[in-house]
């Protein structure tokens, strides 16, 4: 009976995770993701490059609602660098003493401003489609990291018999195949200051790395505490078991 | 009970006026527990632990959560990003909810297997089913609070079920919503009730324990303790045995919280609620899937709702459906087969509840639903009459001494 219960438990636990697939075809980079696994961690270089890709390729249409400039410290930028990045943006503040709203350079505490004032403007500029906010994308899709990576690389000609309407594109990773977003990454879209490769695969992997961080900024500390917690609780379990054996042994005498 | 048994004068002074220490002492040492309980008897304590974790983390979360349609999603993200260890508190709350149901489902199936619902423990069992219903309501409303896509659409689908009630259905739905669609008043009342119900559950648990202590635990053999040779004190024997279960529970919970925190959730709930856009598949949390499958197995809305609630209603009358005088499945060879079939059937229903309601899944859902009800309404009553049960041991001590297989 005990074995059956454990099997049922495993099935319940793993079931939703396995069922979460479906939709398009997903691939992952050959090297895997450094943030996977119990000792997973982020690669600061990849995140900085991915941030650059976001700014130069994605940010024209996609907002990043939940990331403030100060959060970029996680990517390895120091205070001065963050101030400089923020200062390139203007945000509305106010009202001032006369009751007027005014524009000022962004500060570290401001969130990254959205490219559009509202959803309607976003739709009007994108043929009726709303570019989703990217802060949580890596958690808002099944196998989010692989999904983003595959979506960047999944643009192909539509297979025989699939009608692609005007303004739509075919993508093997997108559920249903037809996506409004035109292909964003072609290879050599950006120039990295650290000389890293700029193939479509490399750029997509860097961007995915950055977007995984925006979705789950506490991943590193979570896994670090997790390893300690599992280690401690394993010892607690073994000790409880032997204490139990010992106490019950008195009973049999 | 005399207060002289306590050596600490402060304890003695208090106990003389407020005998809480005597009560604890009584539960710890004087409450006789059958000596042959196996690890399946850990799950009541584990369920209690899960509730405590839920209440503590929930109260902390409520300090930073905003129950408003414009701010709920953002406030949860703020907890995840800006509140100190907020991500940890929320992931513990999310995952313990699932673990609470895992533990309670095992607790219930343990009761089914060993006949723990039979006389004189019928009310104990019924109070347990009441707790289960309250848990489902609490969990459902809690899932709505982050105001993601599944929160919103799950709330829409489930609250709409009540419109199937004849005559007053639409009024009930309006009352649940606080308006004419799932909106801000719905979120507010769900938050209010989500905060309230765990304390109602705590109250029913007190009754559950009072009822339990009237006749004590059932045991794997299912015969009553005949005397002191059949029982041991709760402390230290079962406190330490429960500790092993607690350690295992916390270990598995930690693995989920720290390494697979979103595995039992749905990615769509990281998309803010949008009344204009329906998700491809609306699915409830995994622990509701068997009931969701039963709901969808019936082509008629009212029929589906009745059957779904009926699936829990049969549990209320279970003590009178199963009339076999033998409690434990160990001595009921045919019942034992039907027990495992029911477990498989329930897991199958859970799987089917997560699949789209089309093609072969519909037919399978209907068959599995029919089997579920046949188990309780046909097989159990018939088994009570026709099953040849194995001879029962004379006492709990006898088989324990007779076999070399210890209970440790």
The whole-angstrom distance between B94's CA and the closest CA on chain A is: 14
B10 within domain boundaries: no
Place of tokens 């500390």: A221
pLDDT digits (tens, 9 = 90+) for A176-201: 999 999 999 999 999 999 999 999 99
The answer on pLDDT for B403 being more than 60 is no
Q: Same structural domain for residues B213 and B318?
A: no
Tokens representing A165 are: 């309407």
pLDDT at B331: 96
The whole-angstrom distance between A247's CA and the closest CA on chain B is: 7
DSSP state letters, B71-94: THHHHHHHHHHTSTTHHHHHHHHH
Q: Same structural domain for residues B337 and B272?
A: no
The whole-angstrom distance between A119's CA and the closest CA on chain B is: 12
A38 contacts in B (CB within 8 Å)? 259
Cβ contact B271–A215 (<8 Å) = no
CATH of the domain at B320: 1.10.287
* Residues A211 and B270 sit within 8 Å (Cβ to Cβ): no
> Nearest-5° angle of CA B303, CA B308, CA B311?
120
Q: Same structural domain for residues B79 and B200?
A: yes
B202 within domain boundaries: yes
How many domains would you assign to chain B?
A: 2
Tokens representing B46 are: 């584990």
A252 exposed, middle or buried (CB, 10 Å; 0-12, 13-18, 19+)? exposed
Q: Same structural domain for residues B350 and B203?
A: no
Indicate the pLDDT class of residue B102, thresholds 50, 70 and 90.
very high
* Residues B311 and B372 sit within 8 Å (Cβ to Cβ): yes
Mean of all residue pLDDT scores within chain B: 94
DSSP state letters, B326-356: ---GGG-HHHHHHHHHHHHHHHHHHHHHTS-
Residues 220 to 279 of B: which have CB under 8 A from any A CB?
232, 236-237, 240-241, 243-244, 246-248, 250-251, 254-268, 270-271
> Nearest-5° angle of CA B58, CA B61, CA B63?
115
Q: Same structural domain for residues B54 and B164?
A: yes
* Residues B42 and B241 sit within 8 Å (Cβ to Cβ): yes
Q: Which residue of A has its CA nearest to B400?
A: A252
Q: Same structural domain for residues B216 and B123?
A: yes
CATH of the domain at B163: 1.20.810.10
CA distance A149 to B185: 40
A21 touches chain B (CB under 8 A): no
Q: Same structural domain for residues B80 and B200?
A: yes
Q: Same structural domain for residues B274 and B287?
A: no
B381 exposed, middle or buried (CB, 10 Å; 0-12, 13-18, 19+)? middle
Q: Same structural domain for residues B250 and B342?
A: no
Which domain, by its residues, includes B145? 39-224+235-278
* Residues B270 and B148 sit within 8 Å (Cβ to Cβ): yes
B229 within domain boundaries: no
Of A25, A44, A81, nearest in space to A209 by CA: A44
pLDDT digits (tens, 9 = 90+) for B68-91: 999 999 999 999 999 999 999 999
pTM over 0.90: yes
* Residues A19 and A141 sit within 8 Å (Cβ to Cβ): no
The answer on pLDDT for B407 being more than 60 is no
CA distance A29 to A27: 7
Q: Same structural domain for residues B146 and B203?
A: yes
Residues 116 to 135 of A: which have CB under 8 A from any B CB?
132, 135
* Residues B329 and B387 sit within 8 Å (Cβ to Cβ): no
Chains A–B, number of C-beta pairs less than 8 Å apart: 123
ipTM of the complex: 0.91
Cβ contact B39–A251 (<8 Å) = no
Q: What is the mean pLDDT of residues B35-47?
A: 97
Q: Same structural domain for residues B261 and B302?
A: no
* Residues A214 and A62 sit within 8 Å (Cβ to Cβ): no
For A20, the 3-state DSSP assignment is: coil
B360 within domain boundaries: yes
Domain boundary among B212, B247, B278: B278
Of B253, B229, B265, nearest in space to B103 by CA: B253
The answer on pLDDT for A168 being more than 90 is yes
Q: Which residue of A has its CA nearest to B113?
A: A1
* Residues A185 and A204 sit within 8 Å (Cβ to Cβ): yes
Residues 206 to 225 of A: which have CB under 8 A from any B CB?
215, 217-218, 222-223, 225
Question: Which is it for strands A178-179 and B32-34: parallel, antiparallel or unpaired?
Answer: unpaired
CA distance B353 to B361: 9
B126 within domain boundaries: yes
B26 within domain boundaries: no
Cis peptide before B116 (omega within 30 of 0): no
Q: Which residue of B has its CA nearest to A139?
A: B267
The answer on pLDDT for A65 being more than 70 is yes
pLDDT digits (tens, 9 = 90+) for A3-57: 555 554 444 444 444 334 447 889 999 899 999 999 999 999 999 999 999 999 9
Q: Same structural domain for residues B268 and B319?
A: no
């Amino acid at each position: 009976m005990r074995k059956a219960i454990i099997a049922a438990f495993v099935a319940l636990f793993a079931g939703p995770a396995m069922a979460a697939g479906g939709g398009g075809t997903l691939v992952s980079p050959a090297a895997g993701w450094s943030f996977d696994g119990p000792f997973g961690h982020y690669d600061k270089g990849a995140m900085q490059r991915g941030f650059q890709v976001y700014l130069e390729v994605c940010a024209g249409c996609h907002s990043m609602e939940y990331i403030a400039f100060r959060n970029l410290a996680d990517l390895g930028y120091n205070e001065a660098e963050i101030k400089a990045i923020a200062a390139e943006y203007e945000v509305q503040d106010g009202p001032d003493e006369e009751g007027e709203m005014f524009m000022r350079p962004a500060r570290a505490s401001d969130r990254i401003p959205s490219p559009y004032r509202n959803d309607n403007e976003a739709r009007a500029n994108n043929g009726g489609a709303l570019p989703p906010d990217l802060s949580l994308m890596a958690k808002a899709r099944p196998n989010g990291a692989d999904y983003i990576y595959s979506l960047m690389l999944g643009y192909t000609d539509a297979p025989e018999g699939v009608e692609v309407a005007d303004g739509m594109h075919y993508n093997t990773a997108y559920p249903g195949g037809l996506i409004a977003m035109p292909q964003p990454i072609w290879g050599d879209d950006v120039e990295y200051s650290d000389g890293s490769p700029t193939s479509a695969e490399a750029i997509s992997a860097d961007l995915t790395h950055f977007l995984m961080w925006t979705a789950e900024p506490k991943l590193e500390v979570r896994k670090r505490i997790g390893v300690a917690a599992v280690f401690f609780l394993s010892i607690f379990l073994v000790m409880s078991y032997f204490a139990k054996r010992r106490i019950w042994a008195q009973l049999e005498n | 009970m005399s207060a002289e048994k306590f050596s600490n004068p402060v304890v003695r002074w208090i106990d003389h006026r407020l005998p809480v220490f005597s009560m604890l002492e009584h539960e710890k040492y004087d409450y006789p527990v059958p000596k042959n309980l196996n690890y399946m008897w850990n799950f009541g304590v584990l369920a209690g632990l899960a509730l405590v974790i839920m209440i503590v983390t929930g109260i902390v979360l409520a300090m930073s959560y905003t129950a408003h349609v414009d701010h709920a999603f953002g406030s949860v993200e703020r907890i995840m990003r800006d509140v100190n260890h907020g991500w940890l508190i929320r992931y513990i709350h999310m995952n313990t909810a699932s673990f609470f149901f895992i533990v309670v489902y095992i607790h219930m199936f343990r009761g089914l297997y060993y006949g723990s619902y039979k006389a004189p423990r019928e009310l104990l069992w019924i109070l347990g089913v009441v707790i289960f219903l309250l848990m489902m309501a609490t969990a459902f409303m809690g899932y709505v609070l982050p105001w993601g896509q599944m929160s919103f659409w799950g709330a829409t689908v489930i609250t709409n079920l009540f419109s199937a009630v004849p005559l007053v259905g639409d009024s009930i739905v309006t009352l649940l919503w606080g308006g004419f669609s799932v909106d801000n008043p719905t979120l507010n009342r769900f938050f209010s009730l989500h905060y309230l119900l765990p304390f109602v559950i705590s109250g029913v648990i007190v009754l559950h324990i009072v009822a339990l202590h009237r006749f004590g635990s059932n045991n794997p053999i299912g015969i009553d303790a005949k005397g002191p040779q059949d029982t041991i004190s709760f402390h230290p024997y079962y406190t330490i045995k429960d500790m092993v279960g607690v350690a295992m529970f916390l270990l598995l919970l930690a693995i989920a919280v720290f390494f697979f925190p979103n595995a039992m959730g749905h990615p769509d709930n990281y998309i803010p609620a949008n009344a204009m856009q329906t998700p491809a598949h609306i699915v409830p949390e995994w622990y509701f899937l068997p009931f969701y499958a039963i709901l969808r197995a019936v082509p008629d809305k009212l029929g589906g709702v009745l059957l779904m609630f009926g699936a829990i209603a049969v549990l209320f009358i279970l003590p009178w459906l199963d009339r076999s005088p033998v409690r434990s499945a160990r001595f009921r060879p045919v019942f034992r087969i039907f027990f495992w079939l029911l477990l498989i059937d329930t897991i199958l229903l859970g799987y089917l509840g997560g699949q789209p309601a089309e093609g072969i899944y519909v037919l399978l859902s209907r068959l599995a639903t029919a089997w579920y009800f046949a188990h309780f309404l046909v097989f159990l009553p018939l088994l009570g009459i026709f099953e040849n049960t194995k001879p029962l041991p004379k006492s709990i001590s006898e088989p324990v001494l007779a076999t070399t297989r210890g209970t440790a």
